[in-house]
Chains A and B, each alone.
Chain A
Amino acid sequence: MAESDNIVVETAEKIFADLADPQTINNDKKDAWKTPLWQALSEAGLPLSWVPEDLGGSGASLADGFALLNAAGRFAIAVPLAETMLAGWLLAQAKIASPDGEMTVVPASPKDRITLNADGSLSGRARGVPFAKAAKHFAVLVHGKDGVSIALVDAAKVRIEAGLNVGYDHSDAVTLDNVDPVTIKPAPNAFDQITLMLIGGVARSLQIAGALESMLDISVRYSNERVAFEKKISKFQAVQHNLARLAGESAAALAAATSAADAVANAKAFDDEVYLEAASAKIRCAEAAEKGGSIAHQVHGAIGFTMEHILHRYSLRALAWRDDFGSESHWAVELGRLVASRGADELWPLVASR
């Protein structure tokens, strides 16, 4: 990866390299690496990157935070960094200060809904909530009769059914039965669950793009080491062409994700143009995870299918990240409907506006 001139990313990459080297982590069956990693990330203020200083965070820009998530994807980081960043950002939308410790966002799927009861308590169920089991607090988007609110909820008050996603990370079902929030405040105007899902989707897109960059790197490296039929497999044209396609998928994912991050970071309003960017990133990155990951495995052969090898840390996680904050199928239907409702002659103007 290129040396970054971004101080947030530089700090994070140094921590990842020191404490979250994929090979070291992969060999550590007891997850002993998690505590020092989280501690170092917290000391550097990274989990609360997107929280303004007056709300307890480090006040980094959206752009810097997105670049950090891309770096986290390159290391396939399996601690709730993205989730805590998103939770802090969501709370900050309603000027709620962030507590210390791991957080995650509820709901994490466009279909799930948490509602505000007449007595001020919260009810509802959300599935596939990433790292819910590791979280000390939840940032919750709430629907009430007066509109959308944002709440800080103590994880101890919530029922959690533990689950694992395709990448072996926690992805849990969360049930709120008349839970009293720590704090609840109205969301800003025009903020809704779609906004949250799309921002979450952009975060996941950057992580997927990062994982693909690493898959390309290790696949190219492996192809230059592995000898078969008396030559390096990188010298076989069929392998070269597969890796060229992987490079294309990796480049497309990174282009879509960084373009969406740039669009969101500089958006004045969450209009159709930003919607196009965010939804497209999630759709295209998910497609790239499928196509690119399968090529990376093909190049690695049987060794890449073992738990001992690090490939699965990237490939399975990239596949798992497709499901969070709306799958590519979900966003494709939504984007298709948006395009259809605007009409055929408005399609090109929409695409060309970006």
Chain B
Amino acid sequence: MTAALRFDPIRLPPECEQLRKEVRAFLAEEIAAGTFDPHKPNREDTDAPEFSRRVGAKGWLGMTWPKKYGGQERSFLERYVVTEEMRVANAPTRRFFVADRQSGPVLLKYAPEHIKMEILPRICRGELCFAIGMSEPNSGSDLFAAKTRATKTDGGYLINGTKIWTSSAHIADYMIAIFRTSPPTKENRRHGLTQFLVKMKQPGIKVNPIGQITGQYEFNEVVFTDYFIPDDHVLGEVDGAWKQATSELAYERSGPERFLETYYVLTELVRAVGSDPDTRSAEGIGRLVAQLHTMRRMSVSVAGMLQAGKEPVVEASIVKDIGTVWEQQLPHRVRDLAAFVEETATNRETLERQLDFAIKTAPKLTIQGGTTEVLRGIIARGLGLR
């Protein structure tokens, strides 16, 4: 049974190291040109459409997808390297990240050919922003509770209801959403949900921003009123979205974005303590680095499983659980360790500004992409407990 929880020591192949150099050089140029400040957290409302297009032009979006759809047919491990370098540099990835990680792969798997040909190359060029419409008022992690109705009509469906906590809906060109096409059955309460491709900025959709405790606007409420979706925008099986949505989650839950969101405070702590730290700082930093290294090795291992065509749902859940708890505690731990940093440390103000933001960010990290409780339920199922 524990055999299922092996994280083999996958190593990134040499082509990844070459790619890493290219990404670092590109990001250094962008920083020099003033596109973004690497010492500032990747703020959630940062939208950088031109940067997004330049990343696309480099061939770093849809990297693993077939060439006929604009992809590069490169490996998950190469994509992994691009993702982590972007994160660590605090690059503004908001506009393209969801489409690259999640929405594109869903379209590849379930969209009709003409839709793939129309949309995927545009994602690869960095032109399109996607949102994910799963949560609804009073549903959240409980996907079965989704009520927003898709009612069959001539040539398509009419949508009525509300999605909530939808990141980036205010800038998104498309949303991939699940709607209720039938009630759940007695035998299968997972029955009755269908996945759709939704074109944003159309009549019948209203996007209302929701402020976050960080002071940013990223969440939205999205209200559908007799919004029409044509038949060819159904993704996959009608009433069978449950399995589609869950297999998508291994991509969402194991990547470097699941432990690097507050990483910048660790770098700044190392800078602030200087080259000859006291014992307390040294020990604190050593433990944090050991924990980070371990999670990264687990995360690379899951990327290797994805590359090998596996669906490591339990392993990905473990990485997300450990990773998000870690990145949530990190700002607080860094704050502890920074208590005795010299007043004269050159980056003291930067560190304090970062901590202020990271501490406000921390509470959401164990909520987004599946709460800790849901993940532990999935892991428990993998252990044969439910």
B297 touches A354 (CB 8 A): yes
- List B contacts of A328 (CB < 8 A): 287
- A248-B322, A336-B285 are contacts. A254–B6 as well, Cβ < 8 Å? yes
Instruction: Tell me the bound Cα distance from A324 to B366 in angstroms.
Output: 35
Nearest Cβ on chain A to B147's Cβ, whole angstroms: 25
Which among B150-158, B197-205, B275-283 touches the partner chain? Answer: B275-283
A223: Cβ under 8 A from any B Cβ: yes
A216 touches B318 (CB 8 A): no
Q: In the bound complex, do residue A255 and residue B301 qualify as a contact, i.e. CB atoms below 8 Å apart?
A: yes
Q: Could you give, for residues 187-224 of chain A, a 1 whenever the CB lies within 8 Å of some chain B CB and a 0 otherwise?
A: 00000000000000000000000000100110010011
Q: Are B379 and A340 in contact (CB under 8 A)?
A: no
Q: Say yes or no: is A348 at the interface (Cβ < 8 Å to chain B).
A: yes
Distance between B273 CB and nearest chain A CB, rounded to angstroms = 6
Given contacts A250-B2, A254-B6, A258-B8, contact A340 B276 (CB under 8 A): yes
User: B residues 268-300 with Cβ under 8 Å of A?
Assistant: 268, 270-271, 273-277, 279, 281-287, 289-298
The chain B residue sitting closest to A283, CB to CB, is B290
Comparing A43-51, A90-98, A237-245, the segment that makes contact with chain B is: A237-245
When the two chains form their complex, are residues A337 and B282 in contact, meaning their CB atoms are under 8 A apart?
yes
- Of the four ranges (under 10, 10 to 19, 20 to 34, 35 or more), the interface on chain A belongs to 35 or more
Cα(A244)–Cα(B317), bound, Å: 10
B117 within 8 A of A: no
* A8 interface hit (Cβ, 8 Å): no
A104 within 8 Å of B (CB atoms): no
B383 lies within 8 A of A247 (CB): yes
Q: Quick check: A252 and B385 within 8 Å, CB to CB?
A: no
Asked whether any CB of chain A lies closer than 8 Å to the CB of B1, the reply is: yes
**B327 CB–A CB distance under 8 Å:** no
Which of A1, A248, A279, A332 is close to B3, meaning CB atoms less than 8 Å apart?
A1
Of the residues B2, B274, B376, contact of A340 by C-beta under 8 Å = B274
Given contacts A248-B318, A344-B271, contact A351 B289 (CB under 8 A): yes
Tell me which residues across on chain A come within 8 A of B383, comparing CB atoms.
216, 220, 243-244, 247
**Interface pair B270/A340, CB less than 8 Å apart:** yes
Given contacts A241-B380, A247-B383, A343-B275, contact A280 B5 (CB under 8 A): no
Q: Among A259, A334, A345, which residue has its beta carbon within 8 angstroms of that of B297? A: A259
Residues of A within 8 A of B294 (CB): 252, 255-256, 259, 280-281, 284
Interface status of A235 (Cβ within 8 A of chain B):
yes
Task: Enumerate A283-323 residues with CB–CB distance to B below 8 Å.
Answer: 283-284, 287
Scoring A224, A258, A334, A336 by chain B CB atoms within 10 A of each residue's CB, the highest score goes to A336
A168 to B55, CA, bound (A): 59
Once the chains bind, are A348 and B283 in contact (CB under 8 Å)? no
**If the complex has contacts A248-B322, A339-B270, A347-B266, are A331 and B84 also in contact, measured as CB distance less than 8 A?**
no
Say yes or no: is A276 at the interface (Cβ < 8 Å to chain B).
yes
Contact with B along A226-270 (1 / 0, CB 8 A): 000000001101011101110110111011101101110000000
Interface residues of A in 1-58 (CB under 8 A from B): 1-2
Contact B267 A335 (CB under 8 A): no
Residues of chain A contacted by B266 (CB below 8 angstroms)? 347
Verify if A352 is at the interface (C-beta below 8 Å from B). Answer: yes
Asked if B123 lies at the interface with its beta carbon under 8 angstroms from chain A, I say no
Per the bound structure, the CA–CA distance linking A334 and B267 in Å amounts to: 18
Q: Are B290 and A332 in contact (CB under 8 A)?
A: yes
Evaluate contact between B293 and A336: CB separation under 8 angstroms. no
- On whether A333 and B283 interact (CB within 8 A), knowing A250-B5, A252-B322, the answer reads yes
Contact between A329 and B283 (Cβ–Cβ < 8 Å)? yes
- A261 and B7 alpha carbons, distance in the complex (Å): 13
Residues B1-30 near A (CB distance < 8 A): 1-3, 5-9, 11, 20
- Taking beta carbons and an 8 Å cutoff, which residues of B are in contact with A? 1-3, 5-9, 11, 20, 84-85, 88, 263, 266-268, 270-271, 273-277, 279, 281-287, 289-298, 301, 315, 318, 321-322, 373, 375-377, 379-380, 382-386
The 23 sampled A-B contact pairs (Cβ below 8 Å) are A217-B1, A220-B383, A224-B385, A247-B2, A247-B5, A251-B7, A252-B294, A252-B298, A254-B5, A255-B7, A259-B297, A276-B293, A284-B293, A287-B287, A332-B283, A332-B286, A332-B287, A336-B277, A336-B287, A337-B282, A340-B273, A341-B275, A343-B271
> What are the 4 tightest A-B residue pairs by CB atom distance, in nearest-first order?
A332-B286, A336-B282, A336-B286, A2-B3
